[in-house]
Chains A and B, each alone.
Chain A
Amino acid sequence: MKQSVTVSKSEEAKWLEGIKVVLSKLQFKTPTFNLKKIIVPVISIVAFIGIWYLGAEALRQREINFRVEKALTDQGQAAANALQACFASNESTCQTNTLPSPTQVWASVITLVNDYYVVKQDKLDFKNKTAAVNAKRIAAGKAPIVYTGRASFVDIVIRSLKTVFAGFLLAFFIAVPIGIVIGLSPTLRNAINWFIQIFKPVSPVVWYLLVFMIVKTLLIGTSSDNSFLISFISVGLCAMWATLVNTAVGVSTVDKDYINVAKVLKLGQLQKIFKIILPSSLPLIFTGLRITLSVAWMVLIAIELLAQSPGLGTFVWEEFQNGSSESNSKIIVAMFVIGIIGFLLDRFMLTIQNMVSFNKSEGI
């Protein structure tokens, strides 16, 4: 019995060997490895959608039951039956207002994509319509008329990306120089440490309020829309702490051997900073920047919402206020878009981080 098993196994091995040879001749990679890498996530995605579907269906049923029950006690059997039928027909007047199912969300994706083309056409029409007028206005030294109509979902995402990048740049230009300075000077580090420890855990909402107070007063009397300004400053201030701390730690913990080399060679202060201290702390600085970018993206939604900046945060909030079933689906779409963009940003930073790190250990 055992004998036969081993024989068949070795035969199988031969077969596999043969297949591998054929495949390699066909210039394919051995498929087993890649297959596992593809199949497992696919299975988990399918399972996720399945559970989501069942969950959404159960929630919908619960809401329908409740409302039909209520109609029955308030208005009698006829009304209840009519409502039941209405829900079954899935008409737009009889929609539930609960967690949308995957199909509803997919429908919203398509709506949003179509809407993008509609808005694009609108903008084009607007441009053509105002071309002549604007040419005249520019000739007369006046500002041209700009499109102020409805924004598409793509515009909204772009607005959010712009905000997050502006915030990230602000964080970069504040946190890295300050981090270097306090990393170099233990005295300054001690002086500023309490400040960092206190402000680091402050929530994005409070940062927004603080920035709002200050910017509002600074721009008093001007009528321009400052929601972008306020939101990116808040995002930057809220997200910069990881970079600040990491830069300071990186700069202050340079390998003692490197510092000794600098001492023996009598490198000047600037040379020491630019040739030794900064390069050796680059990996830590970039780890900090990566955290900063992901924090910036995460707090962005709340801050945009508060600042009424027309990005994803405001989009989500307005759809929620809308309260229709369609809006719920759009919120879920926004959620996925936020997640995917966040993931891509993180990958991007990870790639850069691995490029600058000189000990080849890969981060996660």
Chain B
Amino acid sequence: MSILEAETHIITQTAPEIETKELMLDLKNLKKVYPTPKGEYVVLEDLNLQIMKEEFVTIIGHSGCGKTTMLSMIAGLNEITGGSISVLGKPIKGPGPDRGVIFQAPSLMPWMTSLQNVLLGVNQVFPHATKAQRNDIAKYYLQKVGLEDAFHKKASDLSQGMQQRVGIARAFAIKPKVLLLDEPFGMLDSLTRGELQDILIEIWNKEKITAVMITHDVDEAIFLADRVVMMTSGPKAKIGDVLEIDFERPRTRKTVLEHDDYYRYRKHLIDFLEH
């Protein structure tokens, strides 16, 4: 019952529907230079990317091309060398809870329980809510990722997959405008990965948060995304190509795989990566 209350509570918290084509994230002429002992290394140059509100974008590209660099710059964890990044028209200033991050490693605090880990963010973002309300929010999301039996388990006692579930709950629970995911399922076995993709897309369908996700997995990229963004190989990487995925939502793995366009999309991506 309290879960139901939490749900309505959360729904009233989300902003009312605005026209869907609003520009959420705007990367303009983005440039990143790393100083190295052998001189400057230009990772990204003239990178332009627009991401609309409520869009799910996946990013693929060769290893080392600068995907993580770009994502951490959006998160504000990595300094911008040139160009700009704006969220809803405002240039970003450092990191903040409006841009939630799910890292490749779950990076939970191992000494805290899963509930405490989620509460760490919730307490910060909803400082005026009562303790019970904050607990409800945290529990609601933990329950959404299937951890209703593990509220009070220490993070260090959870399996890798369960830890990443907590990571997902923690990220959604702070109600970010943009969710940034850096190969969140890269470390998991394929079965667990499938489960977590389903969970992720289910919560995302409900919350409609703008999502940017890096992946190495072409099938994952197609299954989750409205658009797949392909990055050219570094140095001086930029956006090479963008592929619109026109499958209806909600999707299931089965309908996607059986869709006529699926193999066309897949071929497009693989051709790009292998060119």
**A residues within 8 Å of B by Cβ?**
255, 257-258, 260-261, 263-267, 271, 275-276, 279-280, 282, 358-360
Contacting pair B109 A276 (CB below 8 A): yes
Whether A279 contacts B109 in the complex (CB less than 8 A), given A264-B75, A358-B154, comes out as yes
Number of interface residues of B (CB under 8 A): 24
Name the A residues within 8 Å of B100 (CB-CB). Answer: 264
Interface stretch among B91-99, B200-208, B210-218?
A: B91-99
Residue of B at shortest CB range from A279? B111
- Across the interface, B156 reaches (CB within 8 A) one of A260, A265, A358, namely A358
Question: A280 — which chain B residues lie within 8 A by C-beta?
Answer: 109, 111
Specify which of A263, A265, A279, A359 is in contact with B77 (CB 8 Å cutoff).
Answer: A263
Asked if B154 and A260 make an inter-chain contact with CB atoms under 8 angstroms apart, the answer reads no
Find B121's partner among A257, A265, A276, A360 (CB 8 Å cutoff): A265
Identify 28 residue pairs between A and B in the complex whose beta-carbon atoms are under 8 Å apart, listed by A's number.
A257-B103, A257-B105, A258-B107, A260-B75, A260-B95, A260-B101, A260-B103, A263-B94, A263-B95, A264-B76, A264-B77, A264-B97, A265-B120, A265-B121, A265-B125, A266-B97, A266-B124, A267-B120, A267-B124, A271-B124, A275-B109, A279-B109, A279-B111, A280-B109, A280-B111, A282-B111, A358-B154, A359-B110
The residues of A that contact B103 with a CB separation of less than 8 Å are 257, 260
The interface bits of chain B over 101-137 (1 if a CB of A lies within 8 angstroms of the residue's CB, else 0) are 1010101011110000000110011000000000000
**Which residues from B are CB-within-8-Å of A260?**
75, 77, 95, 101, 103, 107
Measured between alpha carbons, how far is A358 from B157 in the docked complex, in Å? 9
- Of B75, B95, B107, the residue contacting A266 (CB under 8 A) is B95
Q: Is B174 close to A, CB under 8 A?
A: yes
Could you tell me the distance in whole angstroms from the C-beta of A226 to the nearest C-beta in chain B? 42
Q: How many A-B contacts are there with CB distance less than 8 Å?
A: 57
**Residues of B with C-beta under 8 A to A279:** 109, 111-112
Smallest CB separation, B162 vs chain A (Å): 16
Top-3 shortest CB links A-B: A257-B107, A358-B110, A263-B95
Q: Could you tell me if A255 and B97 are in contact, using CB atoms closer than 8 angstroms?
A: no
Q: Is the interface of B mostly helix, strand, loop or mixed?
A: loop
* Chain A neighbourhood of B101, CB < 8 A: 260, 264
Minimal Cβ-Cβ distance residue in B for A256: B107
The interface of chain B, by Cβ under 8 A from chain A, is 75-77, 94-97, 99-101, 103, 105, 107, 109-112, 120-121, 124-125, 154, 156, 174
Q: Are A261 and B107 in contact (CB under 8 A)?
A: yes
Q: Once bound together, how far apart are the Cα atoms of A269 and B200, in whole Å?
A: 32
Q: Is the CB of B96 within 8 A of A266?
A: yes
CA distance A282 to B156 in the complex (A): 15
If A260-B77, A260-B101, A358-B156 touch, whether A265 touches B124 (CB-CB below 8 Å) is yes
Please give, as numbers and ranges, the residues of chain B lying within 8 Å of A275 by CB-CB distance: 109, 120
What's the least CB distance linking A197 to chain B, in Å? 28
Say yes or no: A258 contacts B97, CB within 8 Å.
Answer: no
Which residues does chain B contribute within 8 Å of A257, judged by CB atoms? Answer: 103, 105, 107
For residue B109, which residues in chain A have a CB less than 8 angstroms away from its CB?
258, 261, 275-276, 279-280
Q: Which residues from B are CB-within-8-Å of A265? A: 97, 120-121, 124-125, 174
- The smallest C-beta distance from B161 to any residue of chain A, in angstroms, reads 18
Nearest A-chain residue to B171, judged by Cβ:
A264
Residues of A with C-beta under 8 A to B174: 265
Task: Tell me, rounded to whole Å, the shortest Cβ–Cβ distance linking B186 to chain A.
Answer: 15
Chain A residue contacts of B125, Cβ below 8 A = 265
Contact between B97 and A359, CB atoms less than 8 A apart: no
8 more contacts with CB within 8 A, not counting A264-B76, A264-B96, A358-B111, are A263-B76, A263-B95, A264-B75, A264-B97, A264-B99, A267-B120, A280-B111, A358-B154
The residue in A258, A261, A280, A358 that gathers the most chain B C-beta atoms within 10 A of its C-beta is A261
Bound-state CA distance A271–B109 (Å) is: 14
Most chain A CB atoms below 10 A, which of B107, B125, B154, B174: B107
B113 nearest CB across to chain A (Å): 12
Establish whether residues A255 and B111, one from each chain, have CB atoms under 8 Å apart when the complex forms.
no
For A257, give the chain B residue with the smallest CB separation: B107
A292 to chain B minimum Cβ distance, whole angstroms, is: 22
Which residues in A have their C-beta under 8 angstroms from that of B121? Answer: 265
Assembly CA distance A265 to B77 (angstroms):
12
The residues of A that contact B76 with a CB separation of less than 8 Å are 263-264
Cα–Cα distance between A255 and B103 once the two chains are bound (Å)? 13
Query: Which residue among B77, B125, B174 has the maximum number of chain A CB atoms within 10 Å of its CB?
Result: B77
What chain B residues lie within 8 Å of A267 (beta carbons)? 120, 124
Closest A residue, CB atoms, query B75: A264
